[in-house]
Structure 1
Amino acid sequence: MKAKLIAAALAAAFIVPMATMQTAAASEAAARIVNGSTAIAGEFPDFITISKGTTVAGHVCGGVLVNSRWAVTAAHCVSHFDTSTASIMVGMESYTPLVKKDQVSIEKVIVHPDYDTTTLGGTAKNDLALIKLSRAANSSNFATLAGLNPEQDPPAALTNIPLTAVGFGDNENGVRPNVLNKKTMVALPDKMCTDVPAGYPATNQDPDFHVCAGSGTAGGDSGGPLYADYNGKRYVVGLVSRSLIAPAEQFTRVSKFAEWIKATAVE
């Protein structure tokens, strides 16, 4: 019985939405942006945070601004937290001192219609939501989403393409930083996000829905962008979704949802 309880606990802990990963339970997965570096001022102007307050203690998740009225983030960010008291920090670079382009309240949230919190498959494959700002953001820097110009987009495999994740998530010491951090990472074979030991739940990894990459993101990085620098342009190819077995991490593949985002996020 004890062995079964331990196995069940391990299975339940294996797939963890990044936003809900607790520092107090810092395992290898949680104790990993991890070994990143401080982002340069103005380096990621489309990056946003969902924040309850103006200190890192109120930090919830990351995301990106897709136009003046809409931002995209992970569905589990807005499903697990009350966003009615939160605001969007646009062009967020630091909590202490507070460095941002704008702060805007939230008008409404639209979770992807296929996101299903009752199944691992439903939450895994459609972990994406849109947030409508209460007014136009004071910014003209918007994310370039992969999937809207297929002939120019980076290839789906992302092989040998520099990838960068950014966020305010826990660092290698289990501490949430006050400044925006970045971490270069690489795409991994899908099998690294699929293969699991006996007794663990399926990851529901699907290359149409997910980018398998790693490692570096941790609790607090959820919803934040995975950028790909390709042919002189920076694309958002993924959103931080779930931590798997290190070094594998599962990112929502933005190109799968780009047309839905474009049709829904109307200014």
Structure 2
Amino acid sequence: MKVLVVLVLALASASAGLLPKVAPLHPRDRISTPSITGRITNGKDAVADQFPYQVGLAFSSSAGSWWCGGSIIDSNWVLTAAHCTDGAASVTINYGATVRTSPKFTQTVASSDFIQHESYLALTIRNDISLIKTPTISFSAAVNKIALPAVSATYSTYLGKTAVASGWGLTSDSATAVAKDLQYVELTVIAKSVCQDTYGSLIVTDRVICVDTSSKASTCQGDSGGPLALDGTLIGATSFGSASGCEAGLPAAFTNVSYFRNWILTNAGI
């Protein structure tokens, strides 16, 4: 199962500002056979216990398998992207890994314990968020939750803030080697209007946070659903980037967790 999200450009009656100049693409879909190769482009090696909230998610279905990231938000909840859970029959959750192949422990969860946003729409990458209910875990230095933004009637745009993304995505657009270590990169949040210049206002809404990748440091294939953190709070989940490539220097986008804070409260009670 693949979710290649490229907008239908035959919407001739729509205004130019609605449509993307560059097609958006989920990191999950950057190669023809999804795998767990590579790392975040131009990132740094994480040290043990640096990102205890980070999990690796090995999804499987009758049509194949794919890898995503996720974040522990409570002792029995993981948050990830809807395009990661979409079409999956089950997931094996890898906890506490710095070296990707050496998690502290794993759990396998069936799709019946996925809560994918009921209004997820792949075509416009709308509501790209899912929750996974897990057996209860015990926290430690290596495995722990990350705080969520406060429940509020308003939500922050985080404009100008520098946040940290982590994961095991591709190290470059041409990479083929498997990354041994968890990677991270610091990324600056840009204005929604700047991001709309690339992807259009149909794609970039208040549900999305965009970051600058002009330095060619970005999320890439394998990072989908993984965390964007600011001062110990989860503000985003890796959603999409440019179909031109991870190193194209065009904005990368994350699901805005603040926007979905009440949805998380309703569905997970957190």
Which of the five TM-score ranges fits, normalised by the shorter chain?
0.7 to 0.9
**C-alpha contact (below 8 Å) 1:70/1:132 kept by paired residues:** yes
Partner secondary structure for residue 182 of structure 1 = strand
Task: Tell whether 2:30 aligns with 1:21.
Answer: yes
Partner secondary structure for residue 138 of structure 1 = coil
Using structure 2 for the length normalisation, give the TM-score: 0.75
Cα separation, 1, equivalents of 2:105 and 2:237: 22
Unaligned runs of 5+ in 1: 1-6, 25-30
Aligned AA (1:14):
A
Aligned AA (2:85):
V
When residues 169 and 23 of structure 1 are mapped into structure 2, their CA distance, relative to the original with a 3 A threshold, is farther
**C-alpha contact (below 8 Å) 1:228/1:235 kept by paired residues:** yes
Cα separation, 2, equivalents of 1:130 and 1:209: 16
Shift of 1:192: 2.8
Aligned residues: 229
Shift of 1:102: 2.5
Task: Tell whether 2:80 aligns with 1:73.
Answer: yes
What is residue 179 of structure 1 aligned with on the other side? Answer: 181
Cα separation, 2, equivalents of 1:265 and 1:63: 15
Shift of 1:158: 2.0
How large is the RMSD of aligned CA atoms in angstroms?
Answer: 3.0
Shift of 1:94: 1.7
Cα separation, 1, equivalents of 2:77 and 2:114: 10
Describe how 1:217-256 pairs up with structure 2 within 5 A: 217-229=219-231, 234-244=232-242, 246-256=249-259
Deviation per CA, 1:86-140, whole angstroms, max 9, x where unpaired? Answer: 31112232224x1x232111141110111124x32xxx2200001111x212326
**C-alpha contact (below 8 Å) 1:23/1:174 kept by paired residues:** no
Cα separation, 2, equivalents of 1:266 and 1:180: 30
Q: Which structure is higher in helix share?
A: 1
Unaligned runs of 5+ in 2: 1-8, 11-19
Shift of 1:203: 5.1
Shift of 1:201: 7.1
Partner secondary structure for residue 259 of structure 2 = helix
Task: Tell whether 2:106 aligns with 1:131.
Answer: no
What is residue 157 of structure 1 aligned with on the other side? Answer: 157
Cα separation, 2, equivalents of 1:41 and 1:65: 17
Pairing partner for 1:116 from 117, 121, 141: 121
What is residue 170 of structure 1 aligned with on the other side? Answer: 170
Cα separation, 2, equivalents of 1:94 and 1:163: 22
Task: Tell whether 2:143 aligns with 1:146.
Answer: no
Shift of 1:21: 1.1
Pairing partner for 2:193 from 174, 191, 194: 191
Moved over 6 A (4+): none
Aligned AA (1:164):
V
Shift of 1:249: 1.0
What is residue 28 of structure 1 aligned with on the other side? Answer: none
Identity of aligned residues (%): 28
Cα separation, 2, equivalents of 1:23 and 1:183: 25
Deviation per CA, 1:143-171, whole angstroms, max 9, x where unpaired? Answer: 111243689xxx72323422110000001
Cα separation, 1, equivalents of 2:39 and 2:77: 30
**C-alpha contact (below 8 Å) 1:101/1:138 kept by paired residues:** no
Shift of 1:257: 0.9
